Amino acid sequence: MSLDTVKPSPGFLEHLPIEYKDLIEHGPYGEQKKVTDMGKFKELVEEHPMCAGCAMGLFIRLVFIGLPKPEHTVMVGTAGCGRLAISQGNIPFVYGNYGDTNAVATGIKRGLELRFPEQDKDVVVMCGDGGLVDIGFQGLMHSWFRHEKFTTIMLDNETYGNTGGQESGMTQKGQIMKMSPRGKKDDKMDMMGLAEVANLDYVARITPTNPSRVVRTVRRAVMVAREFGATFIQAYTSCNIEYSIPTPDVMQDAFDMEKKNYGFEEKISDRAKAFLDEIEKKDKKKKKK
C-alpha cells in the first residue's frame, strides 16, 4: 500500500521534522481528510504569503485537501500568485519556466509511470489563467489532445495578478486593465468549450463557494486522469487587489460570479462516470463501516 513508501525507518523517525511526522500521524498522508474536519488535522499547506482575503489562497488549501493520494502527488506550476502558496505545500512542486507546466507534467507523469508501473503517482498542474491560456496555451492544448494522464487546475483570477493586473485571455470582455486601457476587446476565452472539443473525460467549472464540492471535484478530476487521461478544472479565484474587491466581500463576489457567469458545471464522459460511480460507491460503503 502506498503509505509504506512514506513510512520513515524507525531509526530515523526521531530525526524527522515534526511537521513530517504530523502529516503521517495526523495528516492526509495515507488517509484522505474531510473538509468538515478542517482545523482538526494537519494540513498540507498551512501558511502562505497571499494577500489578505485572497480567494485563491482558500481554493488552493481546498485543492490540497482534495488530492486523493498526496503522498504520491507531484504538483507543477508556473509564474503567478498561485505558486506562492503551492510551493508552501508539503508536496514536491516544480516551479518551472513560463508556460511550460503541461509539457513538464507530461514528462514527469510518463517518467514516473515507467519507473513505478505498480504504484499510482498523480501529477497535477495548478497555475493561473495567464500561465495556461496565454503563454502556456500550446502546451495545454497538446497535453489535452494527447490525453496525458494528469489534471490541470486553472486558478482563474481573470488577470495577471502577480505582475500587477494586466489583461489576460480569461479577462471578461470590456474590462479595463493594464494593457487593455480602452477595455478588453475580445471575449473571455472559452476553455470549457475547448476542453469539450479535446474530448476530455472530466471537465469542471467551479468557484470556492462550496468547500466540499471543491474537494470532491478535485478528487474526481485526479482519479479520472489517473485512469483515462487529461482532466480540467477551471476555478474562479478572484483577485481582490486588482479588481478592488473589499476583503470582507470576497466570498460574496464569488457567490455573485457563480450566479452571473461562473455556475458550477461538470462534464463527465460515460466511461469516467461509470468509473466514478464505482469508486464513490465503495467510499460510501467504507464510511458506513
Partner 1 sequence: MSNLNAQEEGKSADWVPAGDMQEEISLEEMLKLPRETIFMTGSEAARESIRRANVDMAIAYPITPQSETMQQAGYLYDEGYIKDYYRAEEEIGAFSAISGASRAGVRSLTATSGPGLMRGMEAISSWPGARTPIVMLDMCRVINTPLAIQPDNIEISFLLDTGMLVLHGENQQDFYDFPLAAFMVSEEVDVTLPCTVAVDGFFVTHARGNVSIVDRKYKLPARDGWKSAVPAMDNENPPARLSRDAPIQKSNFISYHMHSSWQQEVFSAVERSAKYFDKYLGGLIEVVNPGADEMIIASGAAVSQAREAVRQEGEKGNKVGLIKVKTIRPWPRQQIIDAAKHAKTILVPEFNHAGWLHKEVCTTLYGHSEATIYNGPRVFGGMTMPTEMILDWLAEIRNKTGSKNLFV
Nearest-5° Cα angle at 180, 100 to 164 = 60
H/E stretch holding 144: helix 137-145
Binding partner 1 (rule: CB under 8 A), the pick from 42, 83, 205, 213 is 83
Contact 140, 106 (CB under 8 A): no
How many CB atoms sit inside 10 A of residue 146's CB?
A: 13
Contact call for residue 133 and partner 1 (CB under 8 A): no
Size of the site for partner 1 (CB under 8 A): 50
Q: Which is nearer to partner 1, 141 or 257 (CB)?
A: 141
Please identify, using beta-carbon distances, which residue of 113 and 253 lies nearer to partner 1: 113
C-alpha cell at 195: 476542453
* Sole window of 94-102, 126-134, 217-225, 273-281 interacting with partner 1 (rule: CB under 8 A): 94-102
Nearer to partner 1, 15 or 182 (CB): 15
- Does residue 97 bind partner 1 (CB under 8 A)? yes
Shortest approach of partner 1 to residue 78 CB, angstroms? Answer: 10
Verify binding: residue 5, partner 1, rule CB under 8 A. Answer: yes
Residues 6+ positions from 225 with CB-CB distance below 8 Å: 122, 149, 150, 151, 201, 202, 231
Stretch that binds partner 1, among 17-25, 171-179, 189-197, 233-241 (CB under 8 A): 17-25
CA distance 159 to 177: 8
* Segment lying near partner 1 (by CB under 8 A), choices 2-10, 201-209, 235-243, 247-255: 2-10
CA atoms of 101 and 130, how far apart (whole Å): 12
Stretch that binds partner 1, among 59-67, 114-122, 126-134, 253-261 (CB under 8 A): 114-122
Residue 164 lies near partner 1 (rule: CB under 8 A): no
Gap between the Cα atoms of 222 and 200, Å rounded: 13
Q: Say if CB 102 and CB 136 are below 8 A apart.
A: yes
The amino acid occupying position 78 is T
The distance of closest approach from Cβ of residue 253 to partner 1 in the complex, given in angstroms and rounded to an integer, is: 27
What is the rounded CA–CA span in Å between residue 220 and residue 170?
24
Q: Sign (positive/negative) of CA torsion 262, 169, 147, 124?
A: negative
Q: Does the protein bind partner 1 through residue 163 (CB under 8 A)?
A: no
Site string for partner 1, 206-245 (x = CB under 8 A): ----------------------------------------
| DSSP string covering 67-128 | -S-GGGEEEEE-SSSHHHHHTTSSS-EEE-STT-HHHHHHHHHHHHHHH-TTS--EEEEEEE
CB of 169 to partner 1, least distance (A): 18
Shortest distance (Å) from residue 219 CB to partner 1: 18
Give the binding range for partner 1 (CB under 8 A) out of 58-66, 112-120, 151-159, 241-249. Answer: 112-120
48: nearest Cα among 92, 91, 88? 88
Which of residues 30, 139, 161, 208 is near partner 1 by CB under 8 A? Answer: 139
Q: Which residues bind partner 1 (CB under 8 A)?
A: 5-6, 8, 16-17, 19-20, 49, 71-74, 76, 83-84, 87-100, 103-117, 121, 138-139, 141-142, 146
